[in-house]
Amino acid sequence: MRDNQIKEELRAVEAGICTLFEGNYHLGLAAFLNSTVRAGYRGTIWAGYRGVLPPWLNQLKRASHDADEYWIADQVRLMFLKLDTQLHFTNYKPDFMLRLLAAEARNCDYLWYFDPDVFLTAKWPFFAEWQRFGIALCQEVVDNIFPADNPLRQQWVEHASRIGFENPRPIDCYYNGGLVGVPASSAGFLESWRSLIAMVATTGFDLRHLNEGNREQPFHVSDQDALNIAAMYSKFPLTTLGPQGMGFVPGGIMMHHAVGHKPWNGSLPLRALRGMPPTGAAKFYFTLVDAPIRVYSPLRLRAKRMVCSIAAFIGRFYSRR
């Protein structure tokens, strides 16, 4: 009876969340999910995946015997959707969001996508307010200043014009593809993003890969470049954060995004000795993985936190930054 009541409450929630993961990204997923609970999110999280389900699911209460549906907390429901696509998941994001808005998330007024290595630091009311203003994006730290007259951006305009895109707006920033929030009424933005990823493929870019070549080429990170082109042609309002929003630089950090080396992989002290100390995202990750989803035993987690502290100490003396 209680489960049915909660489900009814969740159906009335405006915002939904989705993500995509495979392999050992389930370790980042657990931290992300824990961060949404701690932030005070109430609603459903859809997790698309390839391969096998996470090993930590036995810690969660099943919400349905007919589907891979679980309760993370009383007000947060997690639904797994097995996907069959050859695309790198980074290039599948707009397809996944459009699928959800047409079916599983059709009652949502707003849909958030977060990469499974993004961890929320701000409380959910911040995101609930943010979503009122349009399509939510956050600036990259690499090339975050990307002027409207940049030669690569002008090449984007040439490519986009060939498939019918006209009248770009001048944008001087470059946005990260790890977070996209879209009102259901602005789903046309996702359709444009999907079309532009397909356009990138016509240039020879293999969409089974995350990136190809280097930044000298017009398309280096397919989904992210296509996202930024979609922003240029968007007829819908954008609402954006600077690179501090994802913890890339100091400031008003609303999320930590563990780009590059993942905190659950490799040796943090060895990386620190090479001049790459733990990032803020790595340090934050180890504060998240104990509850409500526990991915390490208490003893192993204490050891990992100690190793992270040692690596941070080493980083005071060896750093490339």
Residues with Cβ within 8 Å of 304's Cβ and at least 6 positions away in sequence, in order, are 286, 296
Band of the pLDDT at 12, cuts 50, 70, 90? very low
How far apart, in whole angstroms, are the C-alpha atoms of residue 309 and residue 300? 14
Residue 1 has pLDDT above 60, yes or no: no
Band of the pLDDT at 5, cuts 50, 70, 90? low
| Exposure string over 158-182, b if 16+ CB within 10 A, otherwise e | ebbeeeebeebeebebbbbbbbbbb
All domains of the chain in start order, with CATH: 2-246 (3.90.550.10), 261-314 (no CATH)
Residues with Cβ within 8 Å of 59's Cβ and at least 6 positions away in sequence, in order, are 292, 293, 294
- Are residues 292 and 38 in contact, defined by beta-carbon separation less than 8 angstroms? no
How far apart, in whole angstroms, are the C-alpha atoms of residue 233 and residue 164? 11
SS3 41: coil
What tens digit of pLDDT does each residue of 83-92 get?
999 999 999 9
How far apart, in whole angstroms, are the C-alpha atoms of residue 1 and residue 189? 39
Band of the pLDDT at 316, cuts 50, 70, 90? confident
Would you state the pLDDT for residue 179?
Answer: 98
At 136, the amino acid letter reads: A
Residue 74 has pLDDT above 80, yes or no: yes
- Calculate helix-pair angle for 280-288, 298-314, nearest 10 degrees: 160
- The residue-averaged pLDDT of 143-153 equals 94
What tens digit of pLDDT does each residue of 188-238 get?
999 999 999 999 999 999 999 988 889 999 999 999 999 999 999 999 999
Would you state the pLDDT for residue 11?
Answer: 46
